[in-house]
Amino acid sequence: MDLVSLALFSVAVVGLGAAATAIFAKWLPKSAIEQAAVHGRFVGLGEAPVVKQPAYRPQVRKEVMNVVRTSN
């Protein structure tokens, strides 16, 4: 029975935290949101440009191949 009450309590805490976050976001004035957009953590990042990666081609040295051949 303790596990059930603990699970219900944790669901209630998570739900209240989500509700508090949503209410807090709705109560923020527009000026605060605009200021956060200007000085925020991810300002101007947008989408990352797609960089074409060269095909993976391992560089195997001759000495490594010799070790592999002699290990059998």
Question: Confidence class of residue 70 from pLDDT cuts 50, 70 and 90?
Answer: low
Spatial separation of the C-alpha atoms in residues 22 and 19, rounded to whole Å: 5
Question: Confidence class of residue 12 from pLDDT cuts 50, 70 and 90?
Answer: very high
Note the pLDDT tens digit of each residue in 15-58.
999 999 999 888 888 888 788 777 776 666 666 677 777 666 66
- For 16, phi then psi, to 5°, come to -65, -35
Spatial separation of the C-alpha atoms in residues 3 and 27, rounded to whole Å: 36
**What's at 67, amino acid-wise?**
V
pTM: 0.45
Angle at 15 between CA 12 and CA 19, to 5 degrees: 135
Model pLDDT, residue 10: 96
Q: What is the DSSP letter of 43?
A: T
**What's at 41, amino acid-wise?**
R
